[in-house]
Structure 1
């Protein structure tokens, strides 16, 4: 496969070179042939007898019109060799002008050279009393321009007709060219084709620019010297954010890629990676390829864990080799992997937590079973049943909490119109046994009749977590107040307890998973309840507020949009 791809690349390179170099070579050969033809024509014209008779007529007319020349003393003509060299000397000048200048300028130069021949011949006749015939040179100048224009037009039409279709097929973003009439002007047909090609190339460039801009990750295209040639919209967004933070300014285009990467990442590692990538392609020649280890190193990239804006960014690079070996470029890809790394950290934390909490109830159950095998048993049958129920319930609560949290985070909720007063009532009923054990009274004031758009089961679970925490952290024989109030656009649910409260440092990590803030209640939960509440509230475009002081109780307030406000917003 490698040999086949290299062969295709060589054939494509040869074709492109022949397409570009072919017209120039053909024109040069045609120019040499034209010079030879014009010199031959000049020699033939100088030898034609009819042209000598024309020279005599011109000589007679010039003698009568020239002042100071007597009619009886006619000047003698120069010999054939001098006349030939005089007329032949203008041919190289005309050919050089035709080759180097455009059609209009070369026509003017040809006319000026013809006039110069006539002027020189007249001056020789006027002051040298000799006749130097300019007829052959003038006719050669008059013939040269149309012949060269015809050859140029023929070469241009041949080149355009030969390569236009191939180029258009390579840029096949839309349908092919419209068929021109067979009886239309050939030049006009090629002009129309060039116009269509120019439009196609413009659309192709716009397509590539739009394709780069719509890439989901930041992408930079640089030269082999590290100068940024193209940057997509994601790079510009990151640059604007860095401008706001550090006061940097300027477009990335035209700057060194190392400076742009540093503005985005604020890390010296990005500069070192860019320097390593650039140094890997600078010594390469046209036929060289990157070593496999360098290609793998650039493809793996470098990860910057503490980039600007508390991001985790992965910077990768890949070279772009042109078919002719020149204009080698680099593509730098900056991927934001912050969410992936956050998920990995949460997974690791969950695994570490579960490896302890999931094992603890099961290990306790096994220990109880082992102790009951002893004779006599260490526990009564009633006590054994209570302990088994306790540890089984702990394991079940942990499983339920994980299932509900996973559902809230990863599964689309089943949204319906829910009456929050009924959901609060069901949640209070769910925790009535716990409240009874602690002689805690739950005071619920919620008038039915209001509604919001939510998943009824998740909302009930979220309310239950708040009420359950209030019961758990409140002292015995206390009161937990639950209130439902409404505003024109929102519903407010508040849960007030008289418990231990929350310190200021703990508030900052209150909704973090697997966090518990009082060792006295470490065995009563898993640190998932408030994280679940926060996830549910955020999914409903709500807000969760906490007001607490250590030792003086806590107030949790949930603000959710009413059903009519939510539907209007959607």
Structure 2
């Protein structure tokens, strides 16, 4: 059993370790919150699929190609921007995405005109530029006149990833102790929505960074031409209460960045990126990366599921589950981004699941090959060749799969040959043999079983059918049928020392006497697998026993009759008053005739004790011993021998045949009286032992020599006649006692010392109830 258990245990342990390693690896990679370009591409596709309607309260005033064509080449005079601001008086906040870091030297008065216009507007936010977003060392701000007139300022730096795509935005940073916010945050504060601005900042976390939730592709936000606003083509009601962003849009003018939603075109302008951030704050929507532990769990969970599927399912189904897990991981990432606004980078989970199948397949193949090698070695050790087939040679551990499959094919051929060998062997058995599985369905029958049921007038049993109808047609006794049904279901009898789960003598409906034996079949691990049942026809044996009984009765009658006649003649002669010497002769004849009768009785009783069927009933040994003492009390009293019974007698219950046990006790008491001198004492008692009762007969005779004890219970053995006197008998009484004791599962013992008497003990098993109580 160890040969089969150890490989399976090692396989389970290796699978567990592989699962742990893969899950830990996926968790470690997942804790990095992204694995470079692959995760970036997946995020871009997810962000593109998570678009929404543009906010109608956000308006971009674009410095487009038409405005450039009409107003002239860039840059325009700042008085033009002042005129535009005058048109935007009703806006909630105006963000000028235009850099005014130096004074206008061509038209110096334009700076004052623009400053006055900014002051009149009262909700204008001007841009600043940092040299870097984290820990900046320099800042580019508007000229003082404009800065003082503006309602607020905000930086417009874009955070560009390593691949040149703008996916994130920094909302706030520190420069020389002052807090600087992004232009979108500053516009919300100026527009009276500081609460939304703060909510977005708090959601961003300590580094004030978020993934920009783009509302759509380039030009998705509402846009109007700079020229049309300047001309007054747009009614004032269209501008009232709006967030207005003014920025460059024309070809070759201003900044344009690749974004997740604009890979396939020239990019998205910086002013539109600011507009998307502004809408994100107003919608309370921002994409964030979860804590590393969360992403580690997200990455490890699919790996655990994949390993579980590989452990439990077939390779084909496990492969389908692995493919399905790929889709589930991507779908889960997208759903979490859309609904929970958290971006769980899926590459670590995808890589973990992708590694699971090949690594697990390698492990499974190695485990299968190792198990195959062990089983081939076990087959060689336990089942040597029996049909002259070549002994299989277990290949080395470095052999290929094909070579091992070849060895397995040869081993399976040996198993098939072995099965054929056993099947032919069972088919050649003379007794009807049937094999049943653990459910009681017949799985095999030999030719003798087919012939038996045909002689019984029944259709031979078919493979796969239950044994119920076979028992009903074969066994007439209900109790016996139930006992056999229990044996077929694997229930063990009370006597577990017997190799048979059922050993019964039955008589079928055709009147034949049968021995029905059932033996359990077990697997290599010791589990119940079925039952093999044999039907042995003993009709001829029982017929011979009946003839022997008749012969014994004949011999008994024919031997008794002459001896009885002799005794009658002797008695008649004695009563007629014959001469003294003739009386001695007649007395001698009478003694010999009585001895002949005793010989016949003892022989008949011994033969019957050896062959008769024991009818086991519950008996009280104390009552039997009491009856035996009462029966021989007169004989002992005639010889002045005291026959004593140790009181009180226990309730000593045994199971056996009353007639045989009574005669065995009487033989022991009779022997004790015959071989005891006058004026002695014989003690009879019962003692309890674990699981047994011991009946002891103690006399005060001359005892038995040690060399005679070994053959004391043999038939026709009379020991110690010279010293003990010839008291008659043929040495069959003690042989009868031994036979009765052994037929009842007990024994007879003797202990004796010459000159001190003997103790004969009959030891019998206690009845089950008494044994349990003891």
Query: TM-score category by the smaller chain?
Result: 0.3 to 0.5
TM-score normalised by the chain length of structure 1:
0.45
Higher RCO (Cα < 8 Å, 6 or more apart): 2
More helix by share: 1
Q: Give the structure-2-normalised TM-score.
A: 0.35
